[in-house]
Structure 1
Amino acid sequence: MKSISIAVLFCVAVLTSCTKDKITQPKVLPAITQKHQQAVALSNNFGIDLYQEIKNEEVADKNIIISPLSANMALSMLLNGAKDGTEDAILNTLRINTDVTANNQTCRDLMDFLPNVDPAVTLGIANSIWYRSGFSVLNSFLDVNQSNFDAQISTLNFSAPNAKNIINSWVENATNKKIKELIDEVSADHVMFLINATYFNAPWKTTFDKSETQNMPFQLTNGNSIQVPMMFSNKIEMDYFTDSNIEMVGLPYGKGNYNFYAILPKTNNDLAQLENNFTTAEWHNWINNAQKVKNYGLYMPKFELDYEITMNKALTAMGMGVAFSNDANFTGISDAEKLMVSKVKQKTYIKVDEEGTEAAAATSVEVVFTSLPPTVSFNRPFMFVISEKTTGAILFMGRIMKPIK
């Protein structure tokens, strides 16, 4: 019997799509055509490129967990408000080679497919747009995001002390309480938040026996090792691929549409080299050439982790820098104000145990004025005059040295 010890774990989740807030079971799943598959393949390029940029800015020994799906959805909603060079920049960053309308249609179709393809798997994806009370938003922008992303639209008093809590509560509920405090603050320059929340809960097709789980060493990149709970099974039918550089297993969830892939570098190749060489072409080579195997011994660590990242730097490196600048054109959101993106932030969570996997992600796109209107604050002594405009008559005048009795 062959035994595989998954000691250094590199997991890739590269589905990118859009789905709905309230999951319903359609009678007939939409047909997924070659055009859809090509669009998803391009979106997977976005996910892999995004991972590479984030990996480059993180410290070498830090866990990374991102959701390309969640980021893609939030940015696709934003794309509906972008114009001219800003639209082109976001399309290129998302690695989309069609127009905005075609991207929306692909999202709509995948939205009806992904949550319903396996009844054993829970996939909940919710979208929302929150904008400041009194801020002028084009109905066309709201309508296109409602129809294609089922976005919940909410007007909110951003000056209220509980504004942040209201948005965060929505995110928490949409992720089964796994993602908390996504929004750090709602400041005077915020006018809109575009948010995606994704929740995934799936049982293994073949579960691990809990009695087989025991503490075992996990080797760190610095040469040290730590004790971790390690699951074991030799009863799982799984995908298996190996070459001179890696070993990979694919563990199916539910009826097999969704899979967890774990990729282990060979002893003479470290994880950094694996990451640097990870491309869409390599990924397709691995999964297309994997063989079904059974009765292999598999050791897999249990883990429960969370992560957060501000994606501005990564997205700028991928070509979206104009969206974060005063040159941004979001006149598809509002033609009354000049807007830009101040932050794209993502928080994630994953738990892998003997029963399956629970994972969640939330991505926020924060939109602000490119330049705030001037603010005058009478927070020190001042004079005042009360007068009538037609005659110019002064009724009262004085000074305020201390605005209390």
Structure 2
Amino acid sequence: MAPCAPLSLVGLLLLASCQPASLQDLTNRNADFATRLYRAVSSRTDDNVFLSVFTLSSALLPLLSAAAGPTQDQLLQGLRLQGLDPQSLPDLFQSLRTAVQGGSLDMNLRQGTALLPRQGLEVSSSFLDLVQTKFGGNAQSLAYTSPLEAASTINLLAQEWTGDTVRELVTDLDPQTQLLIATAAAYQVKFSPSFNESLTQDERFYVNKYRVVMVPMMFRADKFFLAYDLGLKAGVLKLPMAGGAAMLVVLPDEDVDITSVEEAVTGDQIQTWIRQLKKTKLEVQLPRFLLERSYSLRDVLQTLNITQVFQEEADLSNMGEGEAVKLTQVFHKAVVTVADGDGAGGGASVFSTLPPRLTVNRPFIFVVYLQTSGAVLSIGRVIDPSSK
């Protein structure tokens, strides 16, 4: 095994020893990056947030194989992969992607990614093969000197990836673009068991102290897994989904600002919540919602110390033969639909005593993850379920 590369003090604290990476190690590190990205995005807006973080990882990790020198070193740190061998990561990520794909049809998850260099920069066949086979993405050159035509091509890709759910991933493109990353994802959440639509009725949702909206509130009485974070003053509810995934709904207490809970959302914190879950009889009311969020992530990624890949001195020479290229922008659009079933879902179970009721009627955070490995697939925040 190759000797450990020199690490900063932070790297040494994060990596006790330089050992071959395991799939669980990659899963944990990927969750760490996902939550850092979520916190960076959510801190910039007061609106709803939704990120398909696994889709973004599928698009960003191929940059490690394209990069060399300081550019690669900084990417490893920014993606929380310090000390790992970049050459082993494609095979590890392929294993993780296979686990996700195993349940994606049942989850109704459609996603796609592409690395899109400017016309004239030929992508090597070996890099294209790696992007396709290991990361499930695509790589092709575009003529950004014709911005409308390039945007149309990207939007058609997004439509194809998501079954026509995402129709407009990009609008204006810079003719001087050198390299873009395009990502899109669409989730149709299927709870298992589902909420029975015949029990859904309009209820109040308290967006803030000054605004209340009426939303369709789903209902189910059942045995649920529930936890309470005493330090953060937030309840955590697990809702199993088809395909082996589950959604954690994190609901701060009425007198707690959601931002204080968001600041504590890390990969380790999510795992702590999952370990603390206990089965209990409960009536649950959860709003139906549809989120459709678009992001240009260059500035956000730079706050996570991923900067050099966007600069002129970026070294992405492993992508192919030709002139040097820097990453211009990372586009991401994700759609999630959370709704009740078709009338045949779970209903009002009969208990000998009336169970407590958890009504999710104020801003909350949700995390979708694989139950087998804890891999984080998406993270979102619902401030107003009546708005996309």
TM-score (norm 2): 0.76
Distance 1:74 1:119, change over 3 A: closer
Correspondence for 1:281: 268
In the other structure, the counterpart of 1:95 is 80
* 2:99 aligned with 1:113: yes
Partner Cα distance (2:138, 2:310) in 1: 25
Offset at residue 263 of structure 1 (A): 0.6
Once the two structures are superposed, what CA deviation does each residue of 1:55-90 show, in whole Å capped at 9, x if it has no partner? 2222xx311111211211111122221111111111
Which of the residues 211, 217, 234 maps onto 1:246? 234
Correspondence list, 1:76-155, <5 A: 76-97=61-82, 98-117=84-103, 120-155=106-141
> 2:214 pairs with 227, 236, 252, which one?
227
* Distance in 1 separating the partners of 2:273 and 2:189: 23
Native 8 Å contact 1:241 1:289 kept in 2: yes
Distance across 2 between alignment mates of 1:284 and 1:355: 29
User: 2 CA distance for matches of 1:113 and 1:73?
Assistant: 13
Q: Work out whether residues 247 and 266 of structure 1, in 8 Å CA contact, stay in contact via their aligned partners in 2.
A: yes
Report the counterpart of residue 247 of structure 2 in structure 1. Answer: 260
User: What's the offset of the Cα at 1:348?
Assistant: 1.5
Residue 204 (structure 1) aligned to one of 186, 191, 201 = 191
Residues in 2 aligned to 1:208 and 1:123: alpha-carbon distance in whole angstroms:
19
Aligned alpha-carbon RMSD (Å): 2.6
Q: Does 1:51 align with 2:3?
A: no
Asked if the contact 1:308–1:348 (Cα under 8 Å) also holds between the matched residues in 2, the reply is yes
Shift of 1:337: 1.2
Residue 115 of structure 1: SS of its match in structure 2? helix
For residue 129 of structure 2, give the secondary structure of its aligned residue in structure 1: helix
Q: Give the AA of the match of 1:337.
A: E
- CA separation of 1:304/1:150 partners in 2, compared to 1, >3 Å: closer, same or farther? closer
Cα distance in 1 for partners of 2:29, 2:42 equals 20
Opposite residue 75 of structure 2, the aligned amino acid is: I
Letter in 1 for 2:217: M
More relative contact order, 1 or 2 (CA 8 Å, 6+ apart): 2
Mark the CA change 1:153 to 1:49 in structure 2 (over 3 Å): closer, same or farther: closer
Counterpart of 2:6 in structure 1 is none
Matched ranges for 1:240-389 at <5 A: 240-244=226-230, 245-254=233-242, 257-294=244-281, 296-355=282-341
Matched, 1:66 2:51: yes
SS class of match (2:242)? coil
Offset of 1:148 from its aligned partner?
1.4
Between the aligned residues of both structures, percent identity stands at 21
Using a 3 Å threshold, how does the CA distance of structure 1 residues 64 and 75 change in structure 2: closer, same or farther? same
Offset of residue 186 of structure 1: 4.5
SS in 1 for 2:254: coil
Secondary structure of the 2:88 match is helix
Q: 1:43 to 1:213 in 2, by over 3 A?
A: same
Distance 2:310 2:114 in 1: 21
What CA distance in whole angstroms lies between the structure 2 residues aligned with 1:203 and 1:43? 24
The structural deviation recorded for 1:202 is 4.1
Report if aligned partners of 1:127, 1:151 keep a CA contact under 8 Å in 2.
yes
SS at 1:328 equivalent? coil
The answer to whether the 8 Å contact 2:107/2:241 transfers is yes
Question: What is the identity, as a one-letter code, of the residue corresponding to 1:341?
Answer: L
CA contact (8 A) 2:228 2:234 kept: yes
| CA positional deviation for 1:218 | 0.8
User: How many residue pairs end up in the alignment?
Assistant: 323
TM-score (norm 1): 0.73
Cα distance in structure 2, aligned partners of 1:119 and 1:57: 33
Structure 2 unpaired stretches of 5+? 1-19, 343-365, 369-376, 379-388
Determine the structure 1 residue equivalent to 2:22: 35
Say if 1:86 and 1:322, in contact at 8 Å, map to a contact too.
yes
Q: Distance in 1 between matches of 2:316 and 2:43?
A: 29
Distance change (3 Å), C-alpha of 1:126 and 1:306: closer
Question: Is 1:190 aligned to residue 177 of structure 2?
Answer: yes
Partner-residue secondary structure (3-state), 1:101: coil
Which has more radius of gyration?
Answer: 1
Q: Show structure 1 runs of 5+ residues with no match.
A: 1-32, 362-405
Q: Is the 8 A contact 2:154 2:182 kept in 1?
A: no
Q: Any idea what SS the aligned residue of 2:306 has?
A: helix
Report the alpha carbon displacement of residue 305 of structure 1 after superposing the two structures with TM. Answer: 1.8
What is the SS of the residue equivalent to 2:274? helix
Q: Secondary structure at the match of 2:56?
A: helix
1:95 Cα deviation after fit:
0.7
Q: Does 262-271 or 33-42 show the bigger shift? A: 33-42
